[in-house]
Amino acid sequence: MFKDKHILLGVTGGIAAYKAVELLRLLKKAGANVNVIVTKSALKFVGKTTFEVLSENPVLSDLYFDTQSLVKHIDLATWADAAVIAPATANTIAKLAHGIADDALSTTLLAVTAPVMICPSMNTDMYQNIRVQRNLDILETDGWHIIDPDSGVLACKAVGAGRLPDPWFILDRLEAILTRKDLKGKKILVSAGPTVEPIDPVRFVSNHSSGKMGYAIARAAEKRGGTVTLVSGPVNLDAPVGIERIDVETCEQMASQMLSNLDQADIIIKVAAVADYKPIDPKTSKIKKKDNNNKDLCISMTENPDILKLIGEKKTKDQFVVGFAAETDDLEKNALLKIKKKNLDMIAANLVGSSDSGFKADTNKVKLFFRDGSLFDIPLMEKEKVANILIDQVIKKMG
Ligand code: CTP
């Protein structure tokens, strides 16, 4: 997303200015070309050299002394694909809200027509002050994006809202702003992760699913403007930003959540690795070794409901249903059989067993099979990219 994008990073004078350094590093790592504009007070917190070295560009702090160009503020404003002000102080927010242009940053921002993201950071009382809130409302109404500050212990020792969010979060939201909103107005229901079927209160039957592929799809769909509900089995991943996550454990719980959210969904993507079988009779207290007289332990299992098949039976002609198939043999034959058996529009199939694709990897390699017999090959790449290509194909097929 950020490769060769032109990002203007505005830094104002708050203690959180040090986090702007990390944000700059993340932007550069993601491939962005960054120009930094600092206010005079920002330079009291972080030196210009730091921003210059990391951005590999001159840093603008004074319109009259800094530059060879007489219209540097216009050059930068025209150059920018997006601008992010992090941290944004109450003073700069007030100036921007009222069109005051009395330093390099506020003057440049008056000429920016690209999307602008403001990340306020200050003491809680200042942040909640009616004037600051009014100014933020003005900027939001004018179409700029405001990122709410985090709550916690502030530099002034007060506890409350006012902390600059983590740089990765700001980067994530900037990516969302820059993403084309081709899923706007669409509701997407995604399932991810494994299901866990109890044997007794301390043991269970499950599988190796990490949830990474399903979470990547949910995140990509949200950034593309979709309203996403993610039904997730137990995974070690943070809840994605801007998404309703419903946590479940068993196949029965996943089935119930998927089916109760089904009617509202336009696109259903069933990535979860559901346990096909569950213990018939899960014990309410821990099975002790001595209960078994040192003999082999047999656990009788019964079949779980096939959630995707139930969804396929209920789906309307306007809904688009995608399944996933992890296979060890006969990929194409099994994938096509599952499309038919479960009444799917598309199935994303991959061969498991390789370390660079499948359950725990950060990369994946899948073949998309469609109901009409067509095929689309996604070679090995990061799951984030696979997710976006898969969504491109869904949108294309849905017309
Ligand atoms: N699936 C499901 N409910 C189940 C089993 C699978 O919803 N009880 C869904 C998965 O989420 C996936 C698709 O069906 O989208 C295919 O899952 P997979 O495990 O590959 O296929 P199965 O139907 O379980 O068949 P088999 O295990 O025999 O390959």
Q: Ligand 1 centre and the CA of 353: distance in Å?
A: 17
Domain that holds residue 216: 187-398
In a domain, 108, yes or no: yes
Q: Are residues 206 and 155 in the same domain?
A: no
Q: Are residues 145 and 199 in the same domain?
A: no
Q: What is the pLDDT of residue 293?
A: 66
Q: Are residues 72 and 109 in the same domain?
A: yes
Q: Are residues 164 and 293 in the same domain?
A: no
In a domain, 122, yes or no: yes
**29-41 tens-digit pLDDT:** 999 999 999 999 9
Mean pLDDT of 188-212: 96
**265-284 tens-digit pLDDT:** 999 999 999 999 999 999 99
Q: Give 324's pLDDT tier (boundaries 50, 70, 90).
A: very high
Is 286 annotated as ligand-binding?
yes
Give the position, in ligand 1's atom list, of the atom nearest the Cα of 275: 8
Which 3-state string (H, E, C) describes 133-193? HHHHHHHHHCCCEECCCEEEECCCCCEEEEECCCHHHHHHHHHHHHCCCCCCCCEEEEEEC
Is 305 annotated as ligand-binding?
yes
In a domain, 1, yes or no: no
The tokens describing 292, both together, are: 């078994």
CA-to-CA distance for 31 and 38, rounded, in angstroms? Answer: 21
Q: What is the pLDDT of residue 292?
A: 64
Q: What is the pLDDT of residue 152?
A: 85
Is pLDDT of 352 > 70? yes
Q: Which residues contact 108 (CB under 8 A, 6 or more apart)?
A: 8, 10, 37, 60, 73, 74, 76, 77
Q: What is the pLDDT of residue 1?
A: 80
In a domain, 129, yes or no: yes
Tell me the DSSP string of 362-395.
Answer: SEEEEEEEETTS-EEEEEEEEHHHHHHHHHHHHH
Count other Cβ atoms within 10 Å, centred on residue 190: 32
Q: Whose CA is nearest to atom 28 of ligand 1?
A: 276
Q: Are residues 153 and 205 in the same domain?
A: no
Mean pLDDT of 133-157: 93
Q: Among 178, 210, 239, where does a domain finish? A: 178
Q: Are residues 249 and 391 in the same domain?
A: yes
Mean pLDDT of 183-197: 97
Q: Are residues 121 and 192 in the same domain?
A: no
Q: What is the pLDDT of residue 294?
A: 63
Is pLDDT of 299 > 70? yes
CATH number of the domain where residue 215 is located: 3.40.50.10300
Q: Which residues contact 383 (CB under 8 A, 6 or more apart)?
A: 212, 213, 216, 361, 362, 363, 364
Strands 145-146 and 116-120: parallel
Q: Ligand 1 centre and the CA of 276: distance in Å?
A: 7
Between 78-87, 134-143, 235-244, 353-362, the lowest mean confidence (pLDDT) is in 353-362
CA-to-CA distance for 293 and 26, rounded, in angstroms? Answer: 58
Place of tokens 């200050």: 122
CA-to-CA distance for 167 and 359, rounded, in angstroms? Answer: 28
CATH number of the domain where residue 21 is located: 3.40.50.1950
User: Is residue 83 within 8 Å of 139, Cβ to Cβ?
Assistant: no
Q: Among 157, 178, 199, where does a domain finish? A: 178
Q: Are residues 292 and 203 in the same domain?
A: yes
Pocket of ligand 1 (CB under 6 A): 251, 270, 272, 274, 276, 304, 306-308, 323-326, 338
Q: Which comes out higher in pLDDT, residue 365 or 9?
A: 9
Q: Are residues 247 and 131 in the same domain?
A: no
Q: Among 178, 213, 236, where does a domain finish? A: 178
Q: Which residues contact 47 (CB under 8 A, 6 or more apart)?
A: none
In a domain, 67, yes or no: yes
Q: Are residues 87 and 41 in the same domain?
A: yes
Q: Give 63's pLDDT tier (boundaries 50, 70, 90).
A: confident
Is pLDDT of 358 > 70? no
**Count of residues for the chain?**
399
- Vertex 277, ends 269 and 349: CA angle to 5°? 35
Q: Are residues 219 and 306 in the same domain?
A: yes
Q: What percent of the chain has pLDDT over 70?
A: 96
Give the position, in ligand 1's atom list, of the atom nearest the Cα of 322: 15
Strand positions, DSSP E, 203-327: 203-205, 227-232, 244-247, 267-270, 277-279, 301-303, 320-327
Cis peptide before 87 (omega within 30 of 0): yes
Closest by alpha carbon to 261, among 306, 305, 224, 311? 311
The number of folded domains in the chain is: 2
pLDDT, the chain, mean: 93
Is pLDDT of 353 > 90? no
Q: Are residues 46 and 195 in the same domain?
A: no
